[in-house]
Amino acid sequence: MPELPEVETVCRGVAQALEGRKIVSAQIRRPDLRRPFPPDFARRLSGRTVTALSRRAKYMCWHLDDGWVVLCHLGMSGRMLVGRADDAPPGKHDHVVIETDDGGRVTFNDARRFGLMDLVAAADLERHPLLAALGPEPLDAAFTPAVLAAALAARKSPIKVTLLDQTVVAGIGNIYASEALFRAGLHPARPAAGLSGAEIGALVAAIKAVLAEAIASGGSSLREHRQPSGELGCFQHAFAVYDREGRPCPGCTCKEGIRRITQAGRSTYYCDKRQV
């Protein structure tokens, strides 16, 4: 599933195609993805100008000039493809096709259909049921060690599992939780509430650094993620630990290399020597 850096990359690519552009046609080519499209969706998009794009956690927000916002989640495998209106006709898994007044086309392709699109009034955006409970944006200045410390207090669950809880911090998934804990030198099985202030400070810095570097690399392309231009992201080549079980640990003398354990049903990768 795409995490924050992949969604941010997609959002920036789509922004180049949609921001300031008028939607001249919107085709909704099936009634639903994970959930039904909003009633009258195509008509409500047609003729609107997209004033800005933003991102919240793993959601993209297309702000329209009539005060409504298209909320979009890519699901497990959704892609946004940017092209031209006279490109080849949409294919089987191209479910939403937007054409703009400059001859551009943005296509939402989602073979597994776990994605979603909804319409919400801008004033209600933060109260949308999918967004209301989300924790802070990790790249915002407001995400500080004090904020994370408050969120971790009284949590007995392992720090790795806790970082995946979207109410603690938004947008982090399995890849970036492992990578951030490695950088911070923290063992993934440590109880979240047991981290010291200095350790939480190191973790906040590591989260911000790894996410910023991943965005600069266009995200991580493991299976489905593509930038809207069609290019692959390349941060997967910079992984220190994720998906590297048994391989050498960067800059470390440990004999075993990277280890893998399962936590809450998901793989965690770490170094047993460097992460304590």
Please, are residues 178 and 241 in contact by the beta-carbon 8 Å criterion? Answer: yes
Count of residues engaged in binding Zn ion, rule: CB under 5 A? 6
Kindly state whether residue 181 participates in binding Zn ion, applying the rule CB under 5 A: no
Kindly state whether residue 185 participates in binding Zn ion, applying the rule CB under 5 A: no
Q: State in angstroms the smallest separation of the CB of 244 from Zn ion.
A: 11
Kindly state whether residue 186 participates in binding Zn ion, applying the rule CB under 5 A: no
* Dihedral sign for Cα atoms in the order 143, 146, 150, 155: positive
The question of whether 79 is a catalytic residue gets the answer no
Q: State in angstroms the smallest separation of the CB of 184 from Zn ion.
A: 14
3-state secondary structure of 51: strand
Point out which span in 110-118, 187-195, 200-208, 252-260 binds Zn ion (CB under 5 A).
252-260
Sole binder of Zn ion in the list 249, 259, 269, 275 (CB under 5 A): 249
Q: What are phi and psi of 61, to 5 degrees?
A: -125, 120
Q: State in angstroms the smallest separation of the CB of 272 from Zn ion.
A: 7
How many residues in total does the chain contain?
276
Tokens for 241? Answer: 């630990």
Residue 72's CB is within 10 A of a number of other CB atoms, namely 25
DSSP E strands, the chain: 23-28, 50-56, 59-64, 68-73, 79-84, 94-100, 104-109, 116-121, 259-263, 266-270
Point out which span in 60-68, 90-98, 181-189, 263-271 binds Zn ion (CB under 5 A).
263-271
Q: State in angstroms the smallest separation of the CB of 248 from Zn ion.
A: 8
The CA–CA distances, whole Å, from 100 to 19, 21, 88, 95, 171 equal: 10, 6, 16, 17, 29
The CA distance from 6 to 58, in Å, is 9
The question of whether 99 is a catalytic residue gets the answer no
The CA distance from 200 to 50, in Å, is 39
Residue whose CB is less far from Zn ion, 10 or 249: 249
Sole binder of Zn ion in the list 209, 252, 263, 266 (CB under 5 A): 252
Q: Within 40-79, which residues bind Zn ion (CB under 5 A)?
A: none
Residue whose CB is less far from Zn ion, 215 or 258: 258
The question of whether 58 is a catalytic residue gets the answer yes
Point out which span in 94-102, 191-199, 211-219, 245-253 binds Zn ion (CB under 5 A).
245-253
CA 178 to chain centre: 15
Q: State in angstroms the smallest separation of the CB of 241 from Zn ion.
A: 9
Point out which span in 1-9, 163-171, 191-199, 243-251 binds Zn ion (CB under 5 A).
243-251
DSSP state letter for 249: P
Sole binder of Zn ion in the list 121, 132, 150, 254 (CB under 5 A): 254
3-state secondary structure of 264: coil
Kindly state whether residue 216 participates in binding Zn ion, applying the rule CB under 5 A: no
Residue whose CB is less far from Zn ion, 82 or 249: 249
Q: Which residue numbers are catalytic?
A: 2-3, 58, 266
Residues lying near Zn ion in the complex (CB under 5 A): 249, 252, 254, 271, 273-274
